[in-house]
Amino acid sequence: MQVGQILKSKDVNGVITVTPDQSVGEVAELLSAKKIGAVIVSADGRGVDGILSERDIVRELGRRGAVCLQDKARQIMTANPVSCGPGENSDEIFGKMTEGRFRHMPVVEDGEMIGLISIGDVVKARLAEMAMEKTALEGMIMGF
């Protein structure tokens, strides 16, 4: 399934972003309120400057304690994250995520972000495809 199709099937439209100068504490509040695992860091709300995931926050909490909540997002984000385009196939994305050991990827078209997909979205799409393939194969075997 193409990334663009996965985006269309998601309940949440658009991308939740923070600015590079927002605090890590604010980001943690946002992740909790929206029940998500990562946000895109963007100065203008259109380009991708970085990504900040729950894992980055937990790592800093473990290293330095609660003082890290006063840091700015840009201090602990991953800059220039690996992104993908809407025409890419979910199998390729799954491979990149597995190899890079990350679970989120911004979707960018003509230099502007148009969405964010998670490994959960990719797995859900693959399961749906497999169910359709199974039904089609059963139909062929049974002669429908």
Residues that bind ligand AMP (CB under 6 A): 37-38, 51, 53-56, 78, 81-82, 100, 102-105
Task: Output the six-digit token pair for 88.
Answer: 């890419």
Q: Which is nearer to ligand AMP, 102 or 113 (CB)?
A: 102
Q: Which is nearer to ligand AMP, 58 or 136 (CB)?
A: 58
Contact 24, 76 (CB under 8 A): yes
Question: Crossing angle, helix 119-142 and helix 90-100, to 10 degrees?
Answer: 140
In the bound complex, what is the minimum distance in angstroms from residue 87's beta carbon to ligand AMP? 17
* CB burial string 100-124: b at 16+ within 10 A, e below: eebbbbbbbeeeebbbbbbbebbeb
In the bound complex, what is the minimum distance in angstroms from residue 5's beta carbon to ligand AMP? 19
In the bound complex, what is the minimum distance in angstroms from residue 104's beta carbon to ligand AMP? 4
Q: Which is nearer to ligand AMP, 100 or 139 (CB)?
A: 100
Contact 96, 82 (CB under 8 A): yes
In the bound complex, what is the minimum distance in angstroms from residue 129's beta carbon to ligand AMP? 22
